[in-house]
Amino acid sequence: MPSAIIQNRLDRAAINRVLISSVVGTAIEWYDFFLYATASALVFGKLFFPSFDPLAGTIAAFGTFAVGYLARPVGAVFFGHFGDRIGRKAALVATLTIMGIGTAVIGALPGYDAIGVWAPALLIAMRLCQGLAVGGEWGGAVLLVVESVPAKQRGFYGAFPQLGVPLGLILSTGIFTLTTSLPETAFLAWGWRIPFLLSLVLVVIGLFIRLRVAESPVFEVVKSSRDVVKAPLIELLKRHPKDVLLTVGTRFATDITFNVINVFVLAYGTQQLGLSRGLLLNAIIIGSVFALATLPLFGALSDRIGRRVTYLLGCVFVVIYGFVFFPLLATKSAILIVLAYIMGIAVSQASVYGVQSTWFAEIFGTRVRYTGASLPYQIAGIVTSGPTPLISAWLFAQYHQTWPISGYIALTALLSLGCAWFLAETFCRDLAGDSPAVGNGSVVTKPGKSTSPVSS
């Protein structure tokens, strides 16, 4: 069915509902997920691993942070399976519910002093629930938008689900900043729990919005024609093995930069540079506010010059900026530290992240698109996001310098650049026609036209 016919089914109000649902839903999901990251740097080492020395306790807490990333590919496969067979909307309702419950339970957990080893064990179990939920959330939220908006603006609108990351970061960091103003004893006793328990309220709001959204019109066509795939994962690996591997590789530049800046540096800045928690948390918030503007701008840029070119330029900036960020922190100047975070979150990370949502969705066919967009994104987290705070802490413990961490960022960004070079350009692809992406760097000249036969 032509894209124009499908697009006519969605009026402006319906598109706005899809955008709001995707942004709010992903913001809540990432709020929950990032709470854990902040708490792992500031709280969990003291409450759940008290027998360790401060540095070892921080590393142990970062280890439980990494566990969530192990569950994310499982969530991608599980929810991707049902998202490709039953629908995007049903999967997204389930992910939001699971995330909210898991996060609230973390807020109610007693510490190591109360229940011993059960405390870190339950903490890890709830982190696994968070990982499962996030693993299925991102792909579905992206597809609802990308499959519902005008083709010529997919990059711009497709960046809106990415706003969930800075919004979730702003919300989680902002609330944590308020609780850290409490006396230390009160903060460790109960203050840190407030942001986690608040998740229940946010999830109710998110579900109310999400349940009012229509299913993706592109998927509805596939479902009504009974053209759904019985085993989306097998179909994906059979038809798109190269694309899966290359899209995994593009995640390095995004994930590693983000987790160095927003997770590792919270511990490094307070313990090694003597910076206040409030300054670093405020810098994260300010950088994230700027990212709310830059993410759609990078998405819109990809509508003009292509997803691939935009991403490649972003990778070059990531390589360079890794060596600029830490010297700015070392000045201990509040203004320069805030500037470091604005450039790190709103430019370095946003330049590569803003285009990935639409690009991933366009690479894979409709019948396997949920699994195809989700799985590479979440597999990458195991070797990028999850271990990054641990690797960064180990590199600093070994060398007592930050340049090895900057080198780590640069090398992995170069790896992403190489993977992106071999991925196809997709910004003129007709999603309704389910045509495949075309060769390295080539471009489909008109929406709806393709140089290759239809593929799933």
Tens of pLDDT, residues 91-145: 888 888 998 888 889 888 888 788 887 888 888 888 888 888 888 888 888 888 8
Question: Residue 388 carries which side chain, given as an amino acid letter?
Answer: T
Closest CA to 31 of 159, 192, 149, 198: 198
CA 239 to chain centre: 25
**CA atoms within a 13 Å half-sphere pointing along the CA-CB vector of 4:** 2
Answer yes or no: is pLDDT of 441 > 80. Answer: no
pLDDT tens, 34-58?
Answer: 787 778 777 777 787 766 656 555 6
Question: Residue 104 carries which side chain, given as an amino acid letter?
Answer: A
Answer yes or no: is pLDDT of 217 > 90. Answer: no
**Contacts of residue 110, Cβ cutoff 8 Å, sequence gap at least 6:** 119
Measured between alpha carbons, how far is 133 from 126 in angstroms, rounded to an integer? 11
pLDDT of amino acid 444: 41
pLDDT of amino acid 189: 84
Cβ 85 vs Cβ 228: under 8 Å? yes
Closest CA to 390 of 256, 202, 242: 256
Q: Which residue is listed with tokens 């609780």?
A: 179
CB atoms < 10 A from the CB of 440, how many? Answer: 11
pLDDT of amino acid 456: 33
Closest CA to 413 of 300, 256, 201: 256
pLDDT of amino acid 113: 80
Measured between alpha carbons, how far is 206 from 204 in angstroms, rounded to an integer? 5
CA 414 to chain centre: 20
In eight-state DSSP terms, residue 344 is I
pLDDT of amino acid 453: 28
Measured between alpha carbons, how far is 332 from 252 in angstroms, rounded to an integer? 28
Hey, what CATH topology would domain 3-211+237-421 get? Growth Hormone; Chain: A; (1.20.1250)
Measured between alpha carbons, how far is 404 from 415 in angstroms, rounded to an integer? 17
Reported as type and span, the H/E element at residue 70 is helix 54-85
The per-residue DSSP string of 238-301 comes to HH-HHHHHHHHHHHHHHHHHHHIIIIIHHHHHHHTS---HHHHHHHHHHHHHHHHHHHHHHHHH
Q: By three-state DSSP, how is residue 175 classified? A: helix
pLDDT of amino acid 14: 77
Tell me what the pLDDT averaged over the chain comes to: 83
Q: Which residue is listed with tokens 């709310």?
A: 292
- Residue scoring higher pLDDT (295 or 281): 295
pLDDT of amino acid 432: 66
Confidence of residue 85 (pLDDT cuts 50, 70, 90): confident
CA distances from 146 to 4, 139, 141, 150, 349 (A): 14, 10, 9, 8, 21
Measured between alpha carbons, how far is 431 from 148 in angstroms, rounded to an integer? 10
Cβ 247 vs Cβ 301: under 8 Å? no
pTM greater than 0.95 (yes/no): no
